[in-house]
């Protein structure tokens, strides 16, 4: 009976998924919710539960990025992912067009919702990207340079931050830049099958 | 020296006690010691005879003598200098083709008392050579004196002053030599055996020592650093000459045996050249010049480094020390450099980026692999980088990626292989790691895709197949790879891909086929797979490169008659003919004319070409074209002119003049074709007049002196119709000074084709009585007789004709019998060739005019064989056989008559 209630919902979404697949996703969602939220409310997945799913199903490892993916899924900012958000997010994850993925990745990478990825944010995302060198200062220096390199490559309008237009242009030139600040989509191995 | 002191020791010990027994002991000890020394000296003498000079010894000798040369009375020589400034890495200065003979270098020595000597230093010793020839500064390498064991001995012999001043030099001189001995060089020094040296002016010492050290060092650095200085912009010409030098060095390294101590670098060179030989055996001849190993440029520490160098260095640091995210960023950023520029390509390598890029290919990170391949694909356009990639073991990894399920990875890997496999070693590596099979499998992608699948997938599959074809194209330049492609089932797949309409796909596919069509197996398969049809279709393409490769493939395949017919049946002759009109693209023109040449071997095709006015166009192409085009154009005309109409056409278009003009060229293939074409034209008396007027016969005749047998033979064949059709041929032939002697002497050749053609020419020459007399004087009869024992039917036929002609003079008939030409001729009648029968019967008929010959024929069973020939439908044969039998019979009757009367 629960299923039937929700079947109506996804119809309002623009997805690339067939109806049967939506049903399937919802079934998975409910089973996950049941498993995760025995103690809590029954509305959806909280951050920890979602991160566990990202890790176990999609092979993600970076805590910070998983948080960001969670925020990108959680459109209504209620710290909980409901069925609609789940189906919408996963449709991008699994069957997303290039444009959808582009948008999704950009959303993951900018946090403070000003529509730009700032230099500080880049630094934050890249700060673990270098293997530990001799001193912390040196590593910091290295990351700063890496941030500069990234900005040089992606900041086309030279305003010191990356707008969606910048991002879009850069990724269209070089697809490898789609997940430039860390993996936030299911692995390529899964994709190409 | 040691021995001496030990003797003293023994003596000391023994003389201390004055026992009479010890006195005997002492005497015995002394005697033994003497014997010992004597034996040592003797063996040393023997050994020293066998020791050869090597570049290091010679160099040291010369270097040392240089220091004692100059103006003034005290010096040993006025001057001593090398004739060549360039020193090969093996220490030799002689040109490679002389190094083969063991020669090391040449020195010009000016002693005080005799005139300048030009000396060859070779591994066997030192001798006087013919000196510098005045005009070109070349050296006359011939030996003019005895061989001396070394330079000093030689000069002592030649110059008294040298000998005198040399003996004035002091012990230091020999000290210097001793020092050399102590240097860690295995080379035995034969100076040990040289006479002891005396006083040396003290002033010379320090300078000498210093120089010695410097010299030693410079030599060392040379050994350790075979690489040439890196420069940002390498002058092309310079590059070329360097390239040649290294080639020569290698050459020298391979052939010179009694060389200096083998340094690691040299050992490598030797190994490399050995490897090269192995490669040459396994690889096909169609490999281009690109296969030459270019010198390795390394960035020099003090050179002015471009800013890119530092930026790239920084990026490589991130590749090394970053996680996947940082690596991808660095890769993307590196891709922004101008990777087509050599500075950047070499910078990536020189900061160690190449190793990292290749290592990345071995990881599981798809994005890193893609990024790395995108860079490798670009920088592998550089020949040096290609070699570095192979040296770093990149090819097996690239080959493995071809198995990846990720299509863009496959494409990138195949494209990179296409770039890398431009030289032998790489092509071999691809094969040895199973790359050919995998590349062939890539071709399969496009076939499998169902029409139902989305067009996106289709496009990607086509792209994979295209990249596979591209890589196979590069690989197919090696013979063994052609074979591997065939065995992997590549031909049907390539045939399938030929049906597509993607130009990008067709070029590498046709390119591969064209490359492989040099093999018989492929030509048969190309016919069987109906590939010709598609090749013809693509001749009509808009793409010039595609047209070129199609024409080239047809050129390769059209040696086969069926293929030629197929080209005609599929309407390929018309596009070929029309492509002749566009002469701007010389590569394409060469391919098209080549295809026309081979196609015109079939008469039906020639008729078509005449219809399409191709012959007129071909005549127009006889001037102002590169040699590759000329060879084919002339070849085609040679085929066309086998027919009367075309001969007339060629004459009317003014083709004879340019053809005759080409007779003075040096390109072998071209000369073979030109002589053939001129010969074909000469069949027409009217054309012959023109050829004669242009002095074409003399030019043809001169080509009989060409070193290449094919040219000789072709020229001799061409002379036959000329002599037949020239007015006053006998007089013309006589007018060539030494011409007849030249022709007769060609009968000493060991090339069957040359012999057959010369016999044919002699048959024609001998039609003129006066000329026959001349060639008889030049000994044509014994030379022809000597050839009689052959199994080659072509030679037999022309030889028999020549013999039958030559019988017409003096007592030549008898002479042929004396030189035992008759018995072998009888055996010719057992041949299967009717032409041989006719010619032989005619020759025997001529020979049977002599009684002794008749006896020989009878003894060898000629009558039975000739009787069979009488029944032949060939009238000439009938007549000759009958005539011969009648001569034999008449002789028999005469003998019987003589017996009973």
* A/B interface, count of CB pairs below 8 Å: 70
What dihedral angle (degrees, nearest 10) is formed by the CA atoms of B195, B196, B201, B207? 80
pLDDT at residue A28 in the model: 86
Would you call B643 exposed, middle or buried from its count of C-beta atoms within 10 A (0-12, 13-18, 19+)?
A: middle
Task: Report the distance separating Cα B190 and Cα B50, nearest Å.
Answer: 10
∠ CA B393-B231-B238, nearest 5°, is 100
Q: Please report which helix (H) or strand (E) contains residue B139, including its range.
A: strand B139-143
Q: Quick check: helix, strand or coil at residue B100?
A: coil
Task: Report the distance separating Cα A6 and Cα A27, nearest Å.
Answer: 10
Task: Report the distance separating Cα B271 and Cα B279, nearest Å.
Answer: 12
Contacts of A189 in chain B (CB under 8 A): 366
CA A49 to chain CA centroid, nearest Å: 15
User: Binning pLDDT at 50, 70 and 90, where does residue B230 land?
Assistant: very low
Task: Report the distance separating Cα B388 and Cα B400, nearest Å.
Answer: 19
User: Binning pLDDT at 50, 70 and 90, where does residue A8 land?
Assistant: very low
Would you call B749 exposed, middle or buried from its count of C-beta atoms within 10 A (0-12, 13-18, 19+)?
A: middle
pLDDT at A31 over 80: yes
Q: Quick check: helix, strand or coil at residue B214?
A: helix
DSSP secondary structure code for residue A81 in this structure: B
Contact (Cβ atoms closer than 8 angstroms) between residue B593 and residue B630: no
Query: ipTM score of the complex?
Result: 0.88
Which one is predicted more confidently, A188 or B730? B730
Give the pLDDT confidence of A35-78 residue by residue, as tens digits: 766 555 556 788 888 888 888 888 888 888 888 888 888 888 88
User: Binning pLDDT at 50, 70 and 90, where does residue B86 land?
Assistant: confident
Which one is predicted more confidently, B740 or B192? B740
Query: What backbone torsions phi and psi does residue B187 show, to the nearest 5 degrees?
Result: -60, 125
Query: Which candidate in B337, B339, B367, B403 is best for mutational testing of the A interface (most A CBs within 10 A)?
Result: B367
- Is pTM beyond 0.80? Reply is no
Burial A154-190 (b: 16+ CB within 10 A, else e): bbeeeeebbbeebbeebbeebebbbbbbbbbbbebee
Contact (Cβ atoms closer than 8 angstroms) between residue B147 and residue B282: no
DSSP secondary structure code for residue A192 in this structure: T
For the segment B782-799, the average pLDDT, to the nearest whole number, is 92
Query: Range with the lowest mean pLDDT among B66-75, B243-252, B333-342, B554-563?
Result: B243-252
Q: Do the Cβ atoms of B335 and A174 come within 8 Å?
A: yes
Domains and CATH numbers, chain A: 3-96 (1.10.238.10), 103-179 (1.10.238.10)
Which one is predicted more confidently, B18 or A11? B18
Q: Please report which helix (H) or strand (E) contains residue A86, including its range.
A: helix A83-95
pLDDT at B174 over 80: no
| Residue B858: other Cβ atoms inside 10 A | 16
pLDDT at B755 over 90: yes
B228 beta partners = B297
For the segment B220-242, the average pLDDT, to the nearest whole number, is 41
User: Binning pLDDT at 50, 70 and 90, where does residue B452 land?
Assistant: very low
Task: Report the distance separating Cα B211 and Cα B222, nearest Å.
Answer: 16
pLDDT at B797 over 60: yes
Chain A positions with Cβ closer than 8 Å to B:
125-126, 128-131, 133, 142, 145-146, 149-150, 152-153, 174, 176-177, 179-183, 187-189, 192-193
- Report the number of secondary-structure helices (H) and strands (E) in chain A: 10, 2
Q: Do the Cβ atoms of A192 and B371 come within 8 Å?
A: no
pLDDT at residue B1 in the model: 47
- Report the number of secondary-structure helices (H) and strands (E) in chain B: 52, 7
Contacts of A125 in chain B (CB under 8 A): 325
Q: Please report which helix (H) or strand (E) contains residue B764, including its range.
A: helix B752-765
Give the pLDDT confidence of B404-423 residue by residue, as tens digits: 888 889 999 999 999 999 99
User: Binning pLDDT at 50, 70 and 90, where does residue B659 land?
Assistant: very high
Task: Report the distance separating Cα B862 and Cα B885, nearest Å.
Answer: 9
For the segment B514-531, the average pLDDT, to the nearest whole number, is 86
pLDDT > 90 fraction of chain A, expressed in percent and rounded: 6
Give the pLDDT confidence of B535-591 residue by residue, as tens digits: 988 888 888 889 999 999 999 888 888 889 999 999 999 999 999 888 888 999 999
User: Binning pLDDT at 50, 70 and 90, where does residue B17 land?
Assistant: low
pLDDT at B636 over 90: yes
Query: Range with the lowest mean pLDDT among B280-294, B439-453, B879-893?
Result: B280-294
User: Binning pLDDT at 50, 70 and 90, where does residue B14 land?
Assistant: low
pLDDT at B282 over 60: no
Tokens of A155: 């900041």
Give the pLDDT confidence of B477-489 residue by residue, as tens digits: 999 999 999 999 8
The per-residue pLDDT of chain B, averaged, comes to 81
**Any alpha helices (H) in B558-600, and if so which ranges?**
561-569, 573-579, 586-599
Would you call B827 exposed, middle or buried from its count of C-beta atoms within 10 A (0-12, 13-18, 19+)?
A: middle
Q: Do the Cβ atoms of A130 and B370 come within 8 Å?
A: no
Name the E strands within B549-700: none
Sign, CA dihedral B45-B49-B54-B57, equals positive
Contacts of B324 in chain A (CB under 8 A): 183
pLDDT at residue B134 in the model: 62
Nearest CA in chain A to B365: A188
DSSP secondary structure code for residue A75 in this structure: T
DSSP secondary structure code for residue B191 in this structure: G
∠ CA A168-A173-A177, nearest 5°, is 70
Task: Report the distance separating Cα B785 and Cα B822, nearest Å.
Answer: 8
User: Binning pLDDT at 50, 70 and 90, where does residue B224 land?
Assistant: very low
Contacts of A97 in chain B (CB under 8 A): none
Give the pLDDT confidence of B703-723 residue by residue, as tens digits: 999 999 999 999 999 999 999
Task: Report the distance separating Cα B526 and Cα B486, nearest Å.
Answer: 11
Q: Do the Cβ atoms of B325 and A181 come within 8 Å?
A: yes
User: Measured between alpha carbons, how far apart are the two ends of chain B, in Å?
Assistant: 103
Task: Work out the widest C-alpha separation in chain A, in whole angstroms.
Answer: 60
pLDDT at B77 over 50: yes
DSSP secondary structure code for residue B365 in this structure: -
Query: Range with the lowest mean pLDDT among A5-14, B118-127, B175-184, B318-327?
Result: A5-14
Q: Do the Cβ atoms of B325 and A180 come within 8 Å?
A: yes
Residue B295: closest CA among B269, B258, B275, B316: B269
Name the E strands within B202-266: 228-229
Query: Which candidate in A146, A183, A186 is best for mutational testing of the B interface (most B CBs within 10 A)?
Result: A146
pLDDT at A193 over 80: no
Q: Do the Cβ atoms of B325 and A182 come within 8 Å?
A: yes
pLDDT at residue B137 in the model: 62
pLDDT at residue B131 in the model: 78
**Any alpha helices (H) in B433-569, and if so which ranges?**
435-443, 445-448, 455-475, 479-487, 490-497, 503-516, 520-528, 531-539, 544-557, 561-569
User: Measured between alpha carbons, how far apart are the two ends of chain A, in Å?
Assistant: 34
Contacts of A181 in chain B (CB under 8 A): 325
DSSP secondary structure code for residue B69 in this structure: B
pLDDT at residue B247 in the model: 45
| Shortest alpha-carbon distance between residue A140 and chain B (Å) | 13
């Amino acid at each position: 009976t629960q299923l039937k209630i929700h079947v109506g919902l996804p119809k309002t979404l623009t997805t690339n998924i067939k109806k049967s697949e939506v049903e399937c996703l919802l079934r998975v969602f409910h089973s996950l919710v049941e498993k995760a939220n025995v103690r809590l409310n029954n509305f959806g997945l909280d951050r920890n539960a979602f991160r566990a799913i990202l890790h176990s199903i999609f092979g993600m490892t970076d805590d910070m990025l998983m948080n960001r993916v969670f925020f990108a899924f959680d459109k209504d900012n209620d710290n909980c992912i409901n069925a609609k958000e789940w189906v919408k997010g996963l449709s991008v994850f699994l069957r997303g067009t290039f444009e959808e993925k582009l948008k999704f990745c950009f959303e993951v990478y900018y946090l403070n919702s000003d529509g730009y990825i700032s230099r500080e944010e880049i630094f934050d995302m890249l700060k673990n990207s270098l293997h530990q060198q001799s001193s912390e200062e040196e590593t910091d220096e290295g990351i700063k340079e890496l941030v500069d390199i990234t900005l040089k490559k992606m900041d086309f309008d030279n305003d010191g931050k990356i707008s969606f237009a910048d991002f879009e242009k850069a990724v269209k030139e070089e697809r490898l830049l789609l997940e430039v600040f860390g993996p936030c989509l299911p692995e390529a191995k899964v994709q190409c099958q | 020296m040691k021995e001496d002191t030990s003797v003293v020791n023994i003596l000391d010990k023994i003389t201390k006690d004055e026992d009479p027994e010890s006195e005997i002991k002492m005497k015995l000890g002394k005697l033994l010691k003497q014997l010992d020394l004597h034996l040592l000296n003797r063996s040393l003498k023997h050994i020293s005879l066998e020791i050869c000079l090597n570049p290091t010894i010679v160099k040291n000798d010369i270097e040392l003598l240089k220091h004692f040369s100059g103006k003034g009375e005290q010096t040993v020589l006025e001057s001593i200098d090398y004739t060549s400034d360039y020193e090969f890495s093996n220490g030799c200065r002689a040109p490679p083709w002389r190094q083969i003979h063991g020669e090391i270098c040449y020195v010009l020595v000016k002693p005080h008392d005799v005139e300048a000597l030009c000396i060859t230093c070779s591994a066997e010793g030192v001798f006087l050579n013919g000196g510098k020839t005045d005009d070109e500064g070349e050296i006359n390498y011939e030996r003019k004196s005895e061989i001396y064991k070394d330079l000093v001995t030689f000069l002592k012999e030649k110059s008294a002053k040298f000998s005198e001043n040399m003996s004035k030099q002091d012990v230091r001189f020999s000290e210097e030599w001793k020092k050399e001995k102590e240097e860690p060089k295995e080379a035995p020094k034969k100076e040990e055996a040289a006479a002891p040296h005396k006083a040396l002016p003290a002033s010379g010492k320090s300078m000498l020592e210093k120089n010695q050290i410097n010299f030693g060092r410079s030599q060392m650095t040379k050994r350790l650093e075979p690489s040439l200085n890196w420069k940002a912009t390498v002058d092309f010409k310079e590059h070329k000459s360097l390239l040649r030098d290294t080639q020569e060095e290698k050459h020298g390294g391979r052939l010179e045996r009694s060389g200096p101590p083998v340094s690691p670098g040299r050992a490598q060179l030797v190994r490399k050249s050995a490897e090269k030989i192995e490669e040459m055996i396994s690889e096909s001849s169609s490999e281009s010049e690109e296969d030459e190993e270019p010198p390795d440029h390394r960035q020099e520490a003090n050179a002015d480094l471009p800013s890119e160098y530092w930026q790239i260095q920084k990026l490589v640091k991130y590749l090394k020390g970053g996680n996947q995210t940082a690596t991808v960023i660095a890769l993307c950023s590196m891709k922004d450099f101008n990777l087509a520029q050599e500075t950047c390509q070499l910078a990536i390598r020189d900061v160690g980026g190449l190793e990292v890029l290749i290592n990345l290919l071995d990881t599981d990170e798809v994005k890193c692999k893609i990024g790395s391949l995108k860079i490798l694909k670009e920088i592998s356009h550089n020949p040096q980088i290609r070699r570095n990639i192979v040296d770093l073991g990149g090819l097996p990894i690239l080959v493995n990626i071809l198995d990846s399920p990720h299509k863009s990875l496959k494409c990138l890997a195949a494209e990179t292989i296409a770039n890398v496999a431009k030289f032998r070693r790489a092509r071999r590596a691809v094969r040895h790691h199973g790359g050919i099979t995998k590349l062939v499998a890539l071709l399969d992608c496009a076939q499998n895709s169902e029409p139902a699948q989305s067009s996106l997938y289709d496009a990607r599959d086509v792209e994979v197949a295209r990249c596979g074809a591209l890589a196979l194209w590069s690989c197919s330049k090696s013979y063994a790879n052609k074979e591997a492609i065939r065995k992997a089932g590549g031909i049907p797949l390539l045939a399938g891909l030929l049906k597509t309409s993607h130009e990008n796909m067709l070029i590498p596919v046709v390119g591969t086929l064209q490359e492989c069509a040099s093999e018989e197996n492929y030509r048969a398969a190309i016919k069987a797979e109906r590939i010709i049809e598609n090749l013809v279709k693509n001749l009509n393409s808009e793409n010039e490169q595609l047209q070129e490769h199609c024409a080239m493939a047809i050129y390769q395949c059209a040696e086969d008659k069926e293929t030629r017919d197929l080209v005609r049946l599929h309407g390929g002759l018309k596009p070929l003919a029309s492509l002749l009109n566009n002469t701007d693209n010389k590569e394409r023109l060469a391919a098209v004319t080549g295809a026309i040449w081979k196609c015109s071997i079939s008469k039906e095709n020639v008729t078509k070409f005449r219809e399409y006015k191709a012959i007129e166009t071909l005549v127009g192409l006889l001037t102002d074209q590169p040699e590759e085009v000329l060879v084919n154009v002339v070849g085609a005309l040679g085929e066309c002119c086998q027919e009367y109409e075309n001969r007339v056409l060629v004459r009317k278009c003014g083709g004879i003049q340019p053809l005759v003009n080409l007779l003075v060229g040096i390109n072998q293939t071209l000369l073979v074709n030109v002589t053939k074409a001129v010969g074909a034209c000469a069949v027409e008396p009217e054309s012959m007049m023109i050829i004669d007027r242009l002095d074409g016969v003399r030019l043809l005749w001169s080509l009989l002196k060409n070193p290449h047998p094919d040219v000789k033979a072709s020229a001799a064949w061409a002379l036959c119709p000329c002599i037949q059709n020239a007015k006053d041929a006998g007089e013309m032939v006589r007018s060539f000074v030494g011409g007849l002697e030249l022709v007769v002497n060609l009968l000493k050749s060991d090339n069957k084709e040359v012999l057959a053609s010369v016999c044919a020419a002699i048959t024609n020459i001998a039609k003129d009585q006066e000329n026959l007399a001349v060639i008889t004087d030049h000994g044509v009869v014994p030379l022809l007789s000597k050839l009689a024992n052959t199994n080659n039917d072509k030679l037999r036929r022309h030889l028999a004709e020549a013999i039958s002609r030559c019988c017409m003079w003096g007592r030549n008939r008898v002479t042929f019998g004396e030189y035992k030409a008759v018995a072998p001729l009888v055996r010719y009648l057992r041949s299967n060739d009717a032409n041989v029968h006719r010619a032989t019967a005619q020759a025997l008929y001529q020979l049977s005019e002599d009684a002794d010959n008749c006896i020989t024929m009878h003894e060898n069973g000629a009558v039975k064989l000739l009787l069979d020939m009488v029944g032949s439908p060939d009238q000439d044969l009938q007549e000759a056989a009958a005539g011969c039998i009648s001569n034999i019979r008449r002789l028999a009757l005469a003998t019987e008559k003589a017996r009973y009367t």
